Amino acid sequence: MIGDIFDTLDKAGFGSNVHEIAAEGECHVLRLDDESGEGFMTMYRVFEGVYLMFNDFHMHSCISEYQNTDTVLCIDHCREGRIEHENSLGERYYMEAGDLRIDRRIHHEGKVELPLSHYHGITIGFLQDLAQESLKREMPFLSADLETLRESFCPGNKEFLLRTNEPLNAVFSQLYHAPKNIRLNYFRVKIAEMLLLLSEIDTSAYSQQRRYFTVSQTAKVKEIHSLITGRLDKTFTVEKLSQISGMPSASLRKVFKAVYGAPIYRYMKAYKMKAAAEMLISERDLNIADIAQRIGYDNASKFSAAFRVVMGVTPQNYRSRQEEL
């Protein structure tokens, strides 16, 4: 029965915007609804008190109504996309592909933003007392202790952020491709492997690895993002954006990359080319030069060269290929 997990979590609740839409055996599928999009959480009961959840979100933001049960220890891995969270000091931090976070879900309620409008990853959760007992019972050889891990990674209920640990990334990569016929047993083995790897990590070596940013900094960067994505026909220099935002150019560069995952110029080049790709399909009456001007290129040849770098083909070939589909 998956009841031990859902009974415990439901006492506080995922929230009114999360609903179960399917269930079969040890698997439950939850849907999170938001006006900006939707998210799906596919949850498996792996052991009593231990669950593994695949997270697939396509939205700009959502409200998390999750209430901590005081017994949860969670490990999150980001496979693709980007997600913003806030720590106990009100600072923002960002998870990107390859990142891992360990926390107790103390600061999990409130607005969650997805700067790239999508996020895909895995959450492994432990209802601590139940999980510790079942792990000892089912895997007596396992030396990793959940209480020790919690104290090591989450002292004072802080979150722990780890960027690109190759052995752990390899375990999560395998979890994404678990063979269907042996899925639950495969999850069990891989979770045991993951706990053993975590028990060998010296957390002090990673204490300065992840940067945090103030609400004021991230708010200014998001305003800049709205400005430059709302005026594709214009090209803004970093110096001009620095003046508009009131942020030093070095800080603006640093915070923008943290929020959106790429330097300003590279991000906007990719953003413009993807917008141009949509125009090539949806507005077939526009020629290449017209589209180039709409995204701030006076020279159609330069636009075509930039488009090819980002999209892998010329605008003409892209349009032709889409017409053939």
| pLDDT computed for residue 214 by the predictor | 93
| CATH 2.60.120.10 location in the chain | 3-206
3-state secondary structure 238-267: HHHHHHHHCCCHHHHHHHHHHHHCCCHHHH
Architecture of the domain whose range is 215-324: Orthogonal Bundle (1.10)
Distance from chain centroid for Cα 14: 18
Distance CA 325, CA 3 (A): 47
Distance CA 268, CA 230 (A): 11
| pLDDT computed for residue 91 by the predictor | 87
| pLDDT computed for residue 209 by the predictor | 58
Distance CA 290, CA 270 (A): 18
Give the Å distances, CA to CA, from 110 to 85, 96, 177: 9, 20, 32
- 130 is written with which tokens? 């139940």
Phi first, then psi: give them for residue 304, nearest 5 degrees: -60, -40
Q: Which residues of the chain have pLDDT under 70?
A: 1-14, 66-71, 107-109, 207-210, 323-325
Task: Give the CATH fold of the 3-206 domain.
Answer: Jelly Rolls (2.60.120)
| CATH 1.10.10.60 location in the chain | 215-324
Ramachandran class of 66: left when φ > 0, alpha when ψ lies in -120 to 50, beta otherwise: beta
Distance CA 92, CA 78 (A): 17
Give the Å distances, CA to CA, from 138 to 43, 118, 131: 20, 36, 10
- Amino acid sitting at position 56: D
| pLDDT computed for residue 193 by the predictor | 96
